[in-house]
């Protein structure tokens, strides 16, 4: 039976592997935290602040801010929003058997979901995932306009995984002129600007491939189970 349609809803307002030189090393095991947020959501600024001030500054965390577009209709169009990010959040919900999506939400390593305004819960999840040494390793180098990627899994798994390339802007400031956050000037960190799938990999054996890459600025590579399952490995290149 197909999954029932997802209904976005807002929470009520609540209180509030870095590598240099273009090389990302396999023994770095950062935890990936995705924040689903919106400039049009009055509940989001506390989560955005925690994300920017604490998570985005950590070397052991890859913090990715994904702005959704399903609140644009209520008076302010989020200039960073993408329907692709809304679809990613909804796919996560379907994978977990959930019928609704909301903002602000954080997803840790593709596995656990938590309200973005609960720093203690988020940090507890990060510590738990950081303590687990998973089987997948990814090594990447960026040389000019080419990205070289090596993938290993020990022990091997007969699982299909996708390699994602993510680009983001480390900092943006926005003056909100209408909608629920009208009159506020908000700072955003690690605003995702591009997300693409580079290829599919079966973890039964080691693999590697190259991909063209253009532009400056940081990029992130994620190895994630297909159908929005766990993120097994991630690296960041600055």
pLDDT, residue 17, reads: 29
Q: Provide the whole-model pTM.
A: 0.89
Residue 7: the pLDDT is 41
User: Token pair of 210, please?
Assistant: 């190259």
The reported pLDDT for the residue numbered 15 is 28
What superfamily would CATH give domain 18-237? Glutaredoxin (3.40.30.10)
Could you state, in chain order, the average pLDDT of each consecutive group of 10 residues for the chain (238 residues)? 38 31 56 98 98 97 98 96 98 94 98 97 97 94 92 93 96 97 98 96 91 89 93 94
Q: What is the pLDDT of residue 46?
A: 98
pLDDT for the residue 18: 28
What pLDDT, on a 0 to 100 scale, did the predictor assign at position 238?
Answer: 83
Please report the pLDDT score of residue 215 as a whole number: 84
């Amino acid at each position: 039976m197909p999954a029932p349609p997802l209904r976005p809803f807002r929470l009520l307002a609540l209180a509030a592997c870095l590598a240099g030189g273009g090389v990302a090393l396999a023994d770095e095991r950062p935890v990936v935290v995705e924040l689903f947020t919106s400039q049009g959501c009055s509940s989001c600024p506390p989560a955005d602040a925690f994300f920017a001030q604490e998570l985005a500054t950590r070397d052991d965390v890859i913090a990715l801010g994904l702005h959704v577009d399903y609140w644009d209709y209520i008076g302010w169009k989020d200039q960073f929003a993408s329907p692709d990010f809304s679809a990613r959040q909804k796919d996560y919900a379907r994978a977990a058997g959930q019928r609704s999506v909301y903002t602000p939400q954080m997803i840790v390593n593709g596995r656990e979901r938590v309200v973005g305004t609960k720093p203690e819960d988020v940090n507890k999840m990060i510590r738990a995932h950081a303590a687990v040494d998973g089987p997948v390793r990814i090594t990447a180098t960026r040389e000019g306009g080419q990205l070289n990627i090596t993938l290993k899994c020990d022990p091997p798994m007969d699982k299909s995984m996708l390699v994602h390339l993510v680009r983001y802007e480390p900092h943006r400031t926005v003056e909100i002129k209408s909608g629920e956050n009208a009159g506020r000037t908000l700072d955003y960190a690690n605003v995702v600007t591009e997300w693409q799938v580079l290829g599919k990999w079966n973890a039964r054996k080691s693999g590697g491939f190259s991909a063209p890459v253009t532009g400056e600025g940081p990029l992130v590579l994620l190895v994630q189970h297909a159908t929005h399952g766990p993120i097994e490995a991630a690296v960041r290149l600055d």
